[in-house]
Chain A
């Protein structure tokens, strides 16, 4: 029975993804990954020369762990997202309500399915690309395969960690935080004097004890996660009274914006944002990528012979880019289906959400920027960082809105949409990152160059914004 459920879950996952994106778009994604794997190996010798052999291997392992955590959190938040957007979707994981199968078993199978899915659609294509790339380098095929195996175990550690946290989170937020801290503390104590993961320690130093340890960590985490799943933990809290009618109040408040978009829609979306408490989730969703960036910064500083200065302007670029996440959150609060019964268009909703992005969610990036510049003792760079952040944010969010409409999360699963998004977002980010790193060498020249890029991005933002109407006017809410 387990095999059959697992197989059906995999089928379901593929069908779900192909219903979000086009079939071609979804199945092209592994090709992108294959190309990335090829390039990663093709440039390995250069990277090793610049970074050092051990540091390079460590970075790959750190990335694999974080990728696993990301994939796992996507599964966790993904469920919530699906439930919100497609409340009527019946997924196999919901079978426990009607069939004699335990939540423990179905959740474990679901998580196992996640590992298989990501392995098939990302890890194996990446390995295929890497194998192909190895013909153009001096890397031994044998070594490459063994190292890929160690990376896979790190990926499994990351995804199992997410499983463990999500299962604790079902009990309570406190459990999740406490459990995460305990695991991180134990892990740090064990690996403090060794490589970042057990399998890497084995690969580098041939220490077999660490191979067993590395293999057992994801198994132990999955075991704990599964054991902690309760059978009757889906009791949702129903708030009977307490919500004050605020629609008219917000409508009046935003009446000044009627030339930009409908105040009624802004009011509705604003209420959604408040009552769903998505603001808090938005805030915490910034912590993960910023934590990764900070960790990489610290790691590169420690490992590289030259000093890389990830300053406030660099973080401005990155935080601006994370604006996509804010817009994506705004799109996942509630299903837009009700709007289909009203005389309004998809572009009206997109504009209202862009309006909210600009006026309501700005405090999240602002807090992070101020904090980062204060902690790095760079408050003098804060104004420039904020300008960069705002420009990049507006540019990237306008493009996201134009290209993905109200279905940001799902549309980016389409390889064609993703490639376009990549080509539009990455070049200006690279240019600004390079400039930000050189700010202390020729400040005036760098500032002029940054201003020019900001100007160009602002211009493009306007073009993207104006095209939203054209592209989404006649789309349906389905």
Chain B
């Protein structure tokens, strides 16, 4: 069953065509990676799918709900880690997680677990604006992971994280997908995409240039990096 479905999706910003007729289908339980060079349209597509931007043309559905018309419903069913880490400046990490669980109505929440998972115990008492970029990114990831949604959008989630935490996050995401969750990840880090994704698309100049499963790619003795270079250069 497709959890994300885009048909002829386009987005124009004044003179710039950021997305051109994007058609995409992502099924439940897939780990999907959207790859592309800077300015290819990755974040624009993610923003449309997460109700942060309206498309100029075409249709986008998440869990069968049009993202334009069902803003509130879609937002409840997804969690997002945006490209720019921006947890509330004046809340402590624990307070951020309390805010998220309270708004999402999550009972039996696992705040202590996530604080420990991301090694944020020592940050208790500090407000987020006094944290480093990596620590703020951890708070954003914790806020997404604690939301217990079935679909997760991650925009460059590994940037700013140290290698140990990257491994932890990768492992957790793998488990999450095994249990039926779906991940839509935007990344430049082809190595991470190769390790994690079942399916990947390469977007360039607003158009999806290639949509492949990683299994097929391996059968053809190709790597994501090779394919990426072939398409983009």
Contacts and interface: CB of A to CB of B under 8 A. Distances in A.
A343 B104 contact: yes
A341 B89 contact: no
A212 B71 CA distance: 64
Interface residues of B, number: 39
Interface string A72-93: 0000000000001001100000
Contact of A272 (B89, B96, B102): B89
* Of B50, B79, B92, B143, most A-chain CB atoms within 10 Å: B92
Contact of A271 (B52, B90, B124): B90
A101 B225 CA distance: 40
Given A245-B98, A247-B91, A343-B103, A240 B75 contact: no
A240 B103 contact: no
Interface in A460-478: 473-474, 476-478
Contacts of A476: 51-54
Interface in A346-390: none
B169 interface: no
B127 A239 contact: yes
Contact of A341 (B79, B95, B126, B127): B79
B156 to A, nearest CB: 14
Given A264-B99, A345-B72, A476-B51, A333 B104 contact: no
Nearest to B102: A264
Interface residues of A, number: 41
B75 A342 contact: yes
Interface in A324-339: 333-335, 337-338
Contacts of B91: 247, 268, 271-272
A241 B95 CA distance: 14
Contacts of B47: 478
Interface in B46-79: 47, 50-54, 71-72, 75-76, 79
Given A268-B91, A341-B143, A243 B80 contact: no
Given A341-B143, A344-B103, A478-B52, A239 B86 contact: no
Contacts of B104: 342-343
* Of A87, A243, A337, A345, most B-chain CB atoms within 10 Å: A243
A246 interface: yes
25 contacts: A240-B126, A245-B94, A245-B98, A246-B95, A247-B94, A247-B102, A248-B98, A251-B102, A264-B103, A268-B88, A271-B90, A272-B88, A274-B90, A276-B89, A333-B90, A334-B88, A335-B86, A341-B143, A343-B75, A343-B103, A343-B104, A345-B72, A476-B53, A476-B54, A478-B52
Q: Which 6 A-B pairs give the minimum distances between C-beta atoms? A: A343-B75, A241-B125, A247-B95, A275-B90, A341-B80, A343-B76
